[in-house]
Amino acid sequence: MTSGPLTGVKVLEFSQIIAGPFCGMHLADMGAQVTKFEPLEGEPWRVFVELVPKESRTFASLNRGKRGVAMDMTRPEAQAVIHRLVRDADVVVINYRPGVAEQLRIDYGTLSGINPRLIYCENTAFGRYGPLAHRGGYDLVVQAMTGLMAGEAKMQGDVPTYIYPAVADYATGIQMANAICAALFYRERTGKGQRIDCTLMGTAIAMQTSQFTWIRAFDEQVIPPMLEELGRARAEMRSFTEQVAVHNKYRPAAVGNIYYRVYQTKDGFIAVGALSQSLRLKVLAATGLRDPRFREDGSFEVNPPGWEVEGPKLVREAEALFRTRTTEEWAEVLERHGVPAGPLYFIEELFDHPQTLANGLQVELEHPLLGPYKMVGPPFQMSEAPLAAQGPSPMLGEHTDEVLAEAGLTPEEVERLRAAGVVR
């Protein structure tokens, strides 16, 4: 028996890899009954570095709490079953390449004709309109095309490389779940279903709000010449590092940053986050450093004369100071002074961490084939309708018979479909 704010909501999920499955998992955590449809051989993430046949870490991590159906959705018999299930469904989540939904007859026009109250959430890489609408695309491609990769400027040899994890994918999954909840609320008020379009491109750009804001009075004399010089640099086949230098010439980073960065300590690393005036002063109080940018009247001058020389000196002084104590010692000092700070962890170090456990961010599940496993729990909670992991990820085709029975098929009809190779 499920529990949560979406108890009673029926979701049909036609998705693979990350964004769609991550959305479906959030809906399941909120109590929705999520039925995931896969091809007979399983979706690609299920067979990506299999731990046992048809089971992988990646699939188990993104599909908990769902029912699993395996069927050949190219077959008319399978499509007829889906159409019967749609009559009683609330939400469809789809995350296929452009045109696949139409080929499988699970497009919005077809399904909304069967159930006008249906909320249909489709995610694509670039959207349904424009010159890139026909293209498929993965997180890597979208990172490259939306400035995320260039903004990170992370290198692998001589070329830029992707940000880990797949930020556009995961953030889009959250966005999809958010949009579906809004559409359910709208339907409660109006009785109307609707289509939702989410895109990896839209999410990736939305996460860069300040960079994707052109203020005419300040940017009209900066961005056009920057773009012109970047064009020349590319035409001259200059390296990515050189292109970043061109960008930074027009968008220079402030020198002398000692307040919002990671420091190496005696035995590790610690991140310090002080963005406000009051927090900067607390950093100085905690470290004993002196920043000449603070004036006697308490004001702060970002870039005083000569700071291009003095700023790096202050940074070197701060770096040397942080290397004199352990991470734990600095954490205690900074906390005592009210400075936000924390040690650098590898993600595996958060298993059984007291903060992880205290906030329900780790759950333990039992999988029929993988055995017991731990994974991240629901990322938020509600006082009146608590979220919970509703179970492990489904085995391939685990709930096929159950779902087909709900569609009104008899056991004999199910066996005929299985014998014909339509379902697993």
What are the φ and ψ backbone dihedral angles of 123, each rounded to 5 degrees? -115, 130
Task: List, for residues 244-291, the tens digit of each pLDDT value.
Answer: 999 999 998 889 999 999 999 999 999 999 999 999 999 999 999 999
Q: Out of 29, 90, 107, 169, pick the active-site residue.
A: 169
First to last CA, the chain: 25
Q: Output the CA–CA distances (angstroms, integers) from residue 5 to 11, 26, 27, 259, 381, in the order listed.
A: 14, 11, 9, 41, 10
How sure is the predictor about 80, in pLDDT bands with cuts at 50, 70 and 90? very high
Clarify whether 267 is annotated catalytic.
no
Q: Given this model, what pLDDT does residue 131 score?
A: 95
Average pLDDT score, the chain? 96
d(CA 34, CA 180): 13
* Confidence bin at 303 (pLDDT 50/70/90): confident
Q: CB under 8 Å to 127, separation ≥6 — which residues?
A: 133, 197, 199, 201, 202
pLDDT band at 338 (very low <50, low <70, confident <90, very high): very high
C-alpha–C-alpha distance, residues 264 and 343, integer Å: 10
Model confidence pLDDT, tens digit, residues 104-115? 999 999 999 999
Give the C-alpha distances (Å, rounded to integers) separating 190 from 22, 194, 225: 28, 11, 50
CA angle 298, 299, 303 (to 5 degrees): 135
pLDDT tens for 351-366 read 999 999 999 999 999 9
Kindly give the residue spans of alpha helices, DSSP state H, lying in 147-166: 148-152
Q: Would you state the pLDDT for residue 226?
A: 96
Q: What is the pLDDT of residue 70?
A: 98
